[in-house]
Amino acid sequence: MDSPTNTSAADPHEALRAQLATTAVHAFAAPPAWRSIEFISDLHLQPQLPLTWHSWQRYLQASTADAIFMLGDLFEAWVGDDALDEADSFEAACARSLREASGQRALFFMHGNRDFLIGAQFAERSGMQLLPDPSCLSFLGQRWLLSHGDALCVEDSEYQRFRAVARSPAWQQQILAQPLAQRRQLAGSMRSQSEARRMRELVTADVDPLAALAWLQSAGSHTLIHGHTHRPASHALDADHQRVVLSDWDSDELPARAEVLRIDAAGMQRIALSTYLAQPPQAGA
C-alpha cells in the first residue's frame, strides 16, 4: 500500500507539490478503432548495450498493439536531433527502426530525464508523436494519466533543481549550440556523474504519493502509468486511485529484465518481453 500520509506545514517539499498540482494536463482520446495499447519506458538504448537494442527492435516488429507509448528514457542520452545527420550513427539507426514500426501502428513518445532534448526533427523522421508530460489518454471508457515520473520525485531536491534548469528553453539552446562532438562528450560526463551518484545513494527518491494523487484527481483519472524509478509495481494511493510503474529494460545483464504493459478489453497486464521474442516477427501485423 502506497497511501499518502499527512505532511506538516514545515514540509520543505510542499511548495513543489502545490506547483505540480497546477500542472496543465494534455488530454486526448484514442481512435475508436483501437483495441489494444502498450507502454514501455526506461530502455536506456545505447551502442554499448547491443542486446537491449536488438530486443527493442524485435519488440517493435512483434507487437500487435494499435499503439505503443514510450514514456521516457528510451535513450541513455540524447545529444540533439542533428545526430541524425550522421547516416551511420546509432541515433539514425534507431530512427529507421521506429519509422518502419510506425507503418504498422501509432507511436508516441514522452521525454524522460535522459532524452529530453529529443525534438520535432527526430519525431518526424521516426514517425512518432511527441506527448507532453503529463498527458491523459481516454481509452476503453477510462482516463489513463501518463508521465515519465521524474517530476513526481519531489524529495530528490538535487535532481529537481537540475530538472528546472535543463527543461528551460534557454539552457537547451545553449547546449544545442555546442558542436555535436562536444555534446557527446558532455553526455558521457553527465552519465558518469549520474552513475556515481546512484552508487552513493542506497535509497533513491521515489514518486511522491501525495503529488501523484493530486495529479490524478486534477485529471479526473484513477490510474497513473509512469516509469523512471525502475521499480515495476502497482501501488494503491487510496481506495480509488493507483499508480502503475513500468519496468526498465536490460537484456545485456543476467537475469535479463524487460516488461511490456498492455491494456485491452481484458484489462491491464504485464507481459514479459520474452513472450514477444519467442514469437516470429509478424510482417504486416
Checking if the pLDDT of 199 tops 60, the result is: no
> Could you tell me if residue 7 is inside a domain?
no
CATH of the domain at 248: 3.60.21.10
> Could you tell me if residue 26 is inside a domain?
yes
Q: Which residues of 31-59 are buried (b: 16+ CB within 10 A; e: fewer)?
A: eeebebbbbbbbbbbbeebeebbebbbbb
> Could you tell me if residue 284 is inside a domain?
no
The neighbouring-strand residues paired with 106 are: 67
Q: 215: how many CB neighbours lie within 10 A of its CB?
A: 25
Domains: count for the chain? 1
> Could you tell me if residue 210 is inside a domain?
yes
Checking if the pLDDT of 74 tops 70, the result is: yes
> Could you tell me if residue 2 is inside a domain?
no
Backbone dihedral region for residue 80 (phi beyond 0: left; psi -120 to 50: alpha; all else: beta): left
Tell me the per-residue pLDDT of 240-279, one tens digit each, with 9 for 90 and over: 999 999 999 999 999 999 999 999 999 999 999 998 778 6
| Residue 7, pLDDT score | 46
Q: What nine digits make up the cell of 223?
A: 490510474
Residue 72's closest CA among 249, 262, 283, 269?
Answer: 249
H or E stretch including 137?
strand 135-139
> Could you tell me if residue 5 is inside a domain?
no
**Which of the four pLDDT bands, split at 50, 70 and 90, describes residue 17?**
confident
Query: What one-character-per-residue DSSP string does 178-191 give?
Result: S-HHHHHHHHHHHH
Checking if the pLDDT of 15 tops 90, the result is: no
**Cell 521524474 belongs to which residue?**
150
> Could you tell me if residue 272 is inside a domain?
yes
pTM for the predicted model, two decimal places: 0.90
Checking if the pLDDT of 283 tops 90, the result is: no
- Compute the mean pLDDT over every residue in the chain, rounded to the nearest whole number: 90
Give, to the nearest 10 degrees, the angle between helix 50-62 and helix 90-102.
Answer: 10
Maximum mean pLDDT: which of 13-17, 54-58, 272-276: 54-58
Mean pLDDT value across residues 50-75: 97
* Percent of the chain residues past pLDDT 90, beyond the cut: 78
> What whole-number distance in Å separates Cα of residue 50 and Cα of residue 90?
11
The neighbouring-strand residues paired with 260 are: 271
Checking if the pLDDT of 190 tops 90, the result is: no
Please give the residue range of the domain that contains residue 251.
Answer: 14-277
Tell me the per-residue pLDDT of 170-182, one tens digit each, with 9 for 90 and over: 999 999 999 999 9
Tell me the per-residue pLDDT of 106-119, one tens digit each, with 9 for 90 and over: 999 999 999 999 99
Specify the range with the lowest mean pLDDT, choosing from 4-18, 52-66, 268-282: 4-18
Checking if the pLDDT of 210 tops 80, the result is: yes
> Could you tell me if residue 175 is inside a domain?
yes
* Percent of the chain residues past pLDDT 70, beyond the cut: 89
Mean pLDDT value across residues 12-32: 89
